Amino acid sequence: MYKKISFLILNKFNKILIKTFLYNLLEIDFLFIFKKTKKYSFVFFNKKKNQFFLIFKNNKKKKIIKKKSKIGRLKEIRIGLNIHKRDYDIKIKKTNFFLLEGYTVKVCVIFKGREIVFKEKGVELILRFQNNIKGVYFKFSDIEFEGKYIFSIFIPKIKNENKKKKHKIYKKKNNN
């Protein structure tokens, strides 16, 4: 019952329907709806039993699920074939920063016009990019071709190392 109510769109008509439904079937007298920054919280009050029921809309659950999922944590860095050295250094700094933050980074080399003839230069550029990024923080996938793009994906290793440390600490606490 609570799940159905939490998915309803709240306008004046729906509020009246919910109140009558709750009063007739469940003998609940009041329904308070508080709107706080796009989150609705429902408070039901039953006079006979003097009980409060509190239900939050599923926005909180969705945010928690979004934090746990790592699918949306992808950053894409695009590089032209004839990139200047200074611009190249800035791109390397950005990728290092993103990898330290825990994002997966997709580095794309874009071919414009007739540059597609020089695919070997694009592969060399990505290999140079892999060598210049600090090797401690990532592992990378193979170089892949897709139309006018050549790309490689860099995945950070930091998360796995932190998990191992946590497990070691937890085991030490349990043993003592």
Q: Where are the domains of the chain?
A: 2-66, 70-161
pLDDT in tens, the chain (176 residues): 443 444 344 555 455 556 566 555 555 555 555 555 455 555 555 555 555 444 444 456 666 766 666 555 789 999 999 999 999 999 999 998 888 888 888 999 999 999 989 999 999 999 998 888 876 557 777 888 988 999 999 888 755 455 555 455 555 555 65
Right CATH for 70-161 from 3.30.110.10, 1.10.3720.10, 1.20.1440.230, 2.30.29.30? 3.30.110.10
pTM of the model: 0.50
**74-80 vs 51-56, strand pairing mode:** unpaired
Q: Which of 49, 64, 54 is nearest to 5 (CA)?
A: 54
